[in-house]
Amino acid sequence: DDLPGPVGVGHTRWATHGRPVYENSHPLVDCKSRIAVVHNGIIENYLEIKRELEAKGHTFQSRTDTEVVPHLVEDYLSHGMSLEEAFRKTVNRLEGAYAIVLTSTEQPKTILCARQESPLVLGLGDGEYYCSSDFAAFLPLTRKAVLLDEGEMAVLDPKGMKILKLKNAAPVKREAITITWDPESAKKQGFRHFMLKEIHEQAQALRDALRTEQIYYDQFSRKIIEADKVFIVACGTSYHAGLVGSIALAKIAGINARAVIASEFSEEALDLVTSKTVILAISQSGETMDTLNAVRDAKAKGANILSILNVLGSTLMRLSTVYIDQNSGPEIGVASTKVFTSQIVVLLRLAATIGRKKGEVSAKEIGELEDALHRTPALIQSILNTKIEDVKKIAEECDGASSVCFLGRGINVPTALEGRLKLLELSYVPAIAYPAGESKHGFIALIEEGFPVIFVAPNDDTHKRIVGNIMEMKARGARIISIIEEGDEEVRNLSDRVIEISESLPSLVTPLVYVVPLQLLAYYLSVIKGHDPDYPRNLAKSVTVE
C-alpha cells in the first residue's frame, strides 16, 4: 500500500546485534517515538552508551546497537539542542563503523544522515533527494549523485542539501557526479531472476571489460614490477578471481602475488608489508568492510593500493593509488556471476602486460591469449544457447543429494571453489571443493554410491592427472559430472553426465568459460528447491560489516 508523506526511511538489515525479529527491525525509535533511525554498521561502544541512558530512565525495546542513537539524540534534545546539533553530537559519540539516517517529528520534512567507514551516497532528483548505501537503490529515479566522505553528515530538506564535517560542523562543497550505469540494467528485463539475467549478461560484460584502456594496465604493471611484495586481497567470489590472478601472474609474468582472504590479512601478511609493497584489492562494490580494513592497515604502513572494482566513487576507489573499473554494470543478485568473470579478464590482461614488459612471454603468446579472451564471449553465449536443458537435468539429479563435491586442477581449482560457493549459498546444499589431487587425502572417505562429484576437466596439461582422479572416484561409486572440451571421449566415457565446451582454449582462459555451467547449476538447483536465488538467506550483496 502507498504511504503518503514527504519523508521515508527503511533498511534491509544484516543482523549483527540481536536476532532478525520484529523488535530488532529498523527503524528504531526513542522513548516517545518521535525520532526514527536506520543504521548500517556496528557501534562498538553501544553498551556503555546504553547503560548511561538507562541510568537516566530511557527504556530500550530491542537488543540492537542501533537503538542507542535515537535515545541519545532524544537526550541531547532535552538539553535544548537543535535536531542538527543533537544528531552531530550523537554521531561523534559513536565508535565503530556506521552509516546512519534519521528523521524526526520535530522536523518532519528533514532527513539527517552521516557516515564513518560504512558507505553512504546521496541522490539528487527533480525536487527530491535520496540517501542510500548503494547507487543501485535510486538508479531508476536519478543518475546524479553526491558522495559523502568519512566523517561527514548531510541535511536533506525542501530547501536543498548541505554537507557538514562531523567534527566541527564546517560546511563542505561537493560537486555531483553522473552515474554512467543505464537505469534499465538494474531491472530484470524479462528474466525470472536478476541472477539469471546477469549470467546471460556475461558475454557483453566480458566485451566491456576487454575495452579497458591499456594505460590503466601500464600504470598497474609499473607499480607491481617495482614492488618488493604483492598481495591480492579480497573476499568470497572476488577472492576466487584473485586466486586465478595469482596463478596467471606467476605463469606468464614471473610475479609471486599471494592471494589472501581479506579478513585474515592482518594475521597472515600485515607484518610483511613495507612501503614498497603492492596491495591489489578486488571488490565488486568497493565497500566490502574486510577488504577495506586490510587496505587501510596496509596503507598505514605505506603500501601502494591498486584496486579492481565495479563502482566508481566507492570507498575502495578513493583509498587507491590506481584503480581499474571493470565496467560490468550493476549486479543486483547477491551471488556474483558477471563480475567474477570480468575480474578474471582484468587480471589476465594485467598478467599479460607485466609478462610482456618483463620479457617473460613473447608477442606471439600475448597475441594468442588476447585472441582467446576475445573468443570467450561467443563461447559463453553458445553455452547459454545450447546447454541450459543439460544443466537443468543435472540440477534435477542433484536435488536429493545431501552433499556435492567440486574438483579441479591448476588454474581450475579456483573454478571448483567458485562452483562450490555458488551451490551452497543458493541451494543451501553442503558442498566441498578441493584440488583434485588432494581429494585422496581425506575427502575420498565421504564417497559412497551415487555421491555427486563435479570435475572441471579441460583438455590442458592437467588432463592426464584429472583422468586418474575421475577413475578413483568412479571406482568408489561416485556419480561423475564433468565439464569437458567437446570431443574428449576419454572423460566422456568415464562420466555419468557431461557439459561440453565447444572450443579449445589456453588453460589460463578456461575458468572464464568453464565456470558458467556451474553458475547455471547453482541457479537451477536453487529454483528447484523453491529458494530465491537473488536473495539467499543470511547473505548480503555488499558486506559492509566485519
Q: Convert the pLDDT of each residue in 384-405 to its tens digit.
A: 999 999 999 999 999 999 999 9
pLDDT for 20 equals 62
Q: Are 212 and 349 in contact (CB under 8 A)?
A: yes
Residue 330: what pLDDT?
82
CB 377 within 8 A of CB 207: yes
Distance, in Å, from the CA atom of 152 to the CA atom of 175, rounded to the nearest integer, reads 15
Q: Collect the ranges in the chain with pLDDT lower than 70.
A: 1-3, 11-22, 182-186, 540-546
Domains delineated in the chain: 22-178 (3.60.20.10), 187-382 (3.40.50.10490), 387-546 (3.40.50.10490)
For the chain, percent of residues with pLDDT exceeding 90: 70
Instruction: Say what the pTM is.
Output: 0.80
pLDDT of residue 134: 78
What mean pLDDT is reported for the chain? Answer: 91
**pLDDT on residue 15:** 54
Q: What is the pLDDT of residues 401-445, one digit of tens each?
A: 999 999 999 999 999 999 999 999 999 999 999 999 998 888 888
Positive or negative torsion for Cα 438, 442, 445, 446: negative
Alpha-carbon span 394 to 399, nearest angstrom: 9
